Structure 1
């Protein structure tokens, strides 16, 4: 029985998992899940204080799984376009640590307040979003073959969002990048084959950042999320993290968008829309 159980539960044991955007929200939950599966985890984020806090929390929660060099962190600013290629290579080299990376998960996003209206967007704001959500994952993919074997046992998982398929009013400035990530993923799945490339598309997920952004509107937003959901609730990072685990573990899935949104795309709701930042 032990051997049979390890065939499934042990699929990520001792695999090197790099999580870009792993200091909070969905990325942090993926880091927790990977540690629970006895993977070697590297989290990357733009804020050094948040990174240090995240690593400390993970070590406290998973002392045995994170012992020695099984958990580490590194900073990277995905919006720094001039140094992006150098920084990406540094992160990949750090994660590989003289060996090879097995899985890369990118959940990083420009977690700003709800997107500006069409009349309020600026070239600068669009460029920053583009760098983080589209350009950075593409540059990671460019350099991955130096640090990751292109085999079906390995994977890259990107992140889009349900707004790309069912936009609420005011999301014109953002949804193009969500769709672009999904389209780019299909090209990368071809160019990097047999390395697997997929996308997770979350719906409304309550993270620490979203809580802060909603502030006094939090309770109202939660009720609206419940009304839009076929499962009667908003998403949690812990639930959505399961989608990333599946895409890492299923060696026969590539070129796929995995939806995790509580049935949002199957549900029609009249009335006001929730305007918060998706992961």
Structure 2
């Protein structure tokens, strides 16, 4: 009798769109999904990065040639909703899961330096895009609890940091957005992943001095003594895709940061 794969095959044959999938956590979600037998569509604002990511995936999983594709999508565009609708249409056919890990350079600044323009700009990718994605997604997805949308926030939504007020406002707002979307889009499931500190390319635009200070502070605080790795955090996204009973939930993966 052949070995059963009741659990490890739950994503096999599924169609998964990973927005922000060309690097960091998103890339690892895409990688893990391909390894699980899914067909994966990667999207980010940079077409060159998408191609490089697809090439890297196919080096690791050459047999997945027909299961990996990608399309650019600039979530900072003034015509944001049109851009999202175009991406979803390009995917062709119905999607089973959408994972949103896109983000921009962290808008870390003193509150006295905040401007209306800067606050609104910080919302585009982190808050406006997930909401408009949810608006457009239903008609491009299979119906039922087997389908899901997974959004991404951060530990700052659960524990404040000095000079992070702009980001924290949107990060915390995603908690409420997720719970309401789980009702509005039902039976499609909607969940939220809340990573702690994870070193990804999003930090490339932040000064080395700040990153070094922040990294040292986190390592001294968390019980694990380590900064999160994208490949470990990616497991939380796979979990909520696989668990048909999980919706409106926030999954924290932060090395125990909230305990200290």
Could you say what secondary structure the match of 2:206 adopts? helix
Alignment partners' CA distance in 1, 2:121 and 2:238: 29
Q: How many pairs were matched up?
A: 260
CA distance in 1, matches of 2:213, 2:133: 38
Deviation per residue, 1:88-137 (Å, 9 max, x gap)? 11111122x2x21000000111124x511101112222112111111111
Query: Contact conserved, 1:9 with 1:37, CA < 8 A, in 2?
Result: yes
Contact 1:117 1:173 in 2 (8 A): no
State the shift of 1:212 in Å: 6.2
Q: Which runs of 5+ in 1 are unaligned?
A: 268-279
**Match of 2:75?**
78
Q: Where does the alignment leave 5 or more consecutive residues of structure 2 unmatched?
A: none
Q: How does 1:29-178 map to 2 (within 5 A)?
A: 29-65=28-64, 67-68=65-66, 70-81=67-78, 83-95=79-91, 97=92, 99-112=93-106, 115-178=108-171
Structure 1 counterpart of 2:182: 189
CA distance in 2: counterparts of 1:48 and 1:235, whole angstroms = 27
1:214 Cα offset (Å): 4.9
- Give the alignment partner of residue 246 of structure 2, picking from 237, 246, 253: 253
Shift of 1:217: 5.4
* Inter-partner Cα distance in structure 1 for 2:141 and 2:2: 30
Q: 2 CA distance for matches of 1:218 and 1:116? A: 14
The C-alpha deviation readout for 1:16-71, integer Å capped at 9, x for no partner, is: 00001111111011011101101000011011222222122112222112x12x11
Structure 1 contact 76–88 (Cα < 8 Å) conserved: yes
Give the CA deviation at 1:200. Answer: 0.1
Deviation by residue 1:257-279 (Cα, 9 ceiling, x = unmatched): 00000111111xxxxxxxxxxxx
Match of 1:199 among 188, 192, 198: 192
- Root-mean-square deviation (CA, aligned residues, Å) is 1.6
The DSSP-based 3-state class of the residue aligned with 2:69 is strand
Alignment TM-score, normalising by the size of structure 1: 0.89
Equivalent residues of 2:105, 2:206 under 8 A apart = no
- Corresponding position of 1:232: 225
C-alpha separation in 1, matches of 2:134 and 2:189: 11
Question: Is the partner of 2:193 in helix, strand or coil?
Answer: strand
Give me the whole-angstrom Cα distance separating, in 1, the residues matched to 2:231 and 2:41: 18
Tell me how far 1:225 sits from its aligned partner: 1.7
Could you tell me whether the CA contact under 8 Å between 1:105 and 1:156 is conserved in 2? Answer: yes
SS in 2 for 1:247: helix
CA contact (8 A) 2:145 2:189 kept: yes
